[in-house]
Amino acid sequence: MPTNQLRGVIAAVATAVDENGAPDVARATKLARFLIDNGCDGLNVLGTTGEATSFSLDERKSVMSAYEQARLPLDRMMVGTGAAAMADAVTLTRYAADLGFAGALVLPPFYYKGVPDDGLVAYIDTIVQATAAQPIPLYLYHYPQQSGLHWHVALVKRLLDTYGTRIVGLKDSSGDMGYAREAAAISKSFNVFPSTEAVLLEARAGAFAGCISATANLNPDLCARAWGRGDQSALDAAVTIRKLFDGRPLVSGVKALLSHIHADPALARVKPPLAPFSAADRAAVFAGYDGVRGKRVA
C-alpha cells in the first residue's frame, strides 16, 4: 500500500483519443510526462476530464497499464475507479492497486438517484473488503452535478469512522467552497482537493491539500509557482486562463487548447457523447490564452 500522501498541484489529465475513439495511449502518456516534468506534483488519471466513464472496462485498464509501462511515477497519481456497477469498481480498484497507483478516486454508483446512505456505505464496504490484501488508499469523488449523488459531510464522517485510514481524502468538483471547507475540517489527516487552482494560496496556507484541476493541463508551471512560492501573479494568470472556459464546455475546451499549445490537432479529439469544441469557442479561447501566455509549443 502506498504510504505517501498526494498533495499540491494535481492535473485532472486529459486522455487522448485516437481516430477510432479508443484511448491513444502514446499521446496520453506523453502528455502525462509533460505535466509531471513541468510543474505538476501529481496527476488524476481517468477522471471526468479523462473521460473515464465513456471508456469500457478494458479501455480504462489499458490506459492504466500504459502509464505503468511508460514508467510514469504512479506513486504520484490517483486513478478514477468508480463505476455504476459495483463489480466494475472493484475490478478497476484492484487493478490500480496491482499496478501501484497511489490512490483510487471513487465516484458513487451514479445511475440510481436518491439512494440511502446505507447503499453508498455498502458500495464502499465492498471495495474496501475486495482490496484488503492490497489496501490502496481511497479518495471520494464528490461531483453531484454529474453523479446526482452526494458524499455529504455526515456520510464522509461515517465512512472515516468505519474504515479509518483506508479513506484518505476527497476531490470536490461541486464548486461549493463551504462544503469543501467543512469536509476539510473533519480531520487534519483527511486531504481535500477542490477542483480549481484558484484555491492554491488558501491551500498553501493549510486549508486544503492542494487542487485537482482540469485546467492544470494548460498551466502547470503557473500552478507550480503559486503552490510552491505563493506567487500571486502566476495564480492570477492561471485563473484568467481558467475563466476562458466560463460558459463553455470544459473537457472539449481543455482538449482543444491542449491541441493548440502542443501543436497537435489529435489532442482535441473527444469521445461521444462529448462533441468537439466549436470553431467560435476555439478562436476565443486560443486568443485569450495567447494573450496571457503567447503561443507556447511543447
- 171 a catalytic residue: yes
SS3 category, 75: helix
Give the Å distances, CA to CA, from 275 to 24, 248, 260, 271, 278: 17, 12, 17, 7, 9
DSSP code at position 298: -
- 123 a catalytic residue: no
Exactly one of 67, 95, 123, 141 is catalytic; name it: 141
Exactly one of 171, 179, 255, 289 is catalytic; name it: 171
Contact 157, 136 (CB under 8 A): no
Contact 74, 98 (CB under 8 A): no
CA-to-CA distance for 91 and 59, rounded, in angstroms?
A: 13
Quote the cell numbers at residue 188.
487534519
Contact 254, 268 (CB under 8 A): no
What residue has cell string 479561447?
Answer: 285
Which spans in the chain are helix H? 25-37, 57-69, 86-99, 117-130, 144-147, 153-163, 177-184, 200-204, 220-229, 232-243, 250-261, 279-293
CA-to-CA distance for 62 and 58, rounded, in angstroms?
A: 6
Question: If we measure between CA atoms, which residue out of 141, 56, 41, 119 comes closest to residue 92?
Answer: 56
Q: What φ, ψ does residue 147 adopt, rounded to 5°?
A: -80, -25
Catalytic residue list: 141, 171
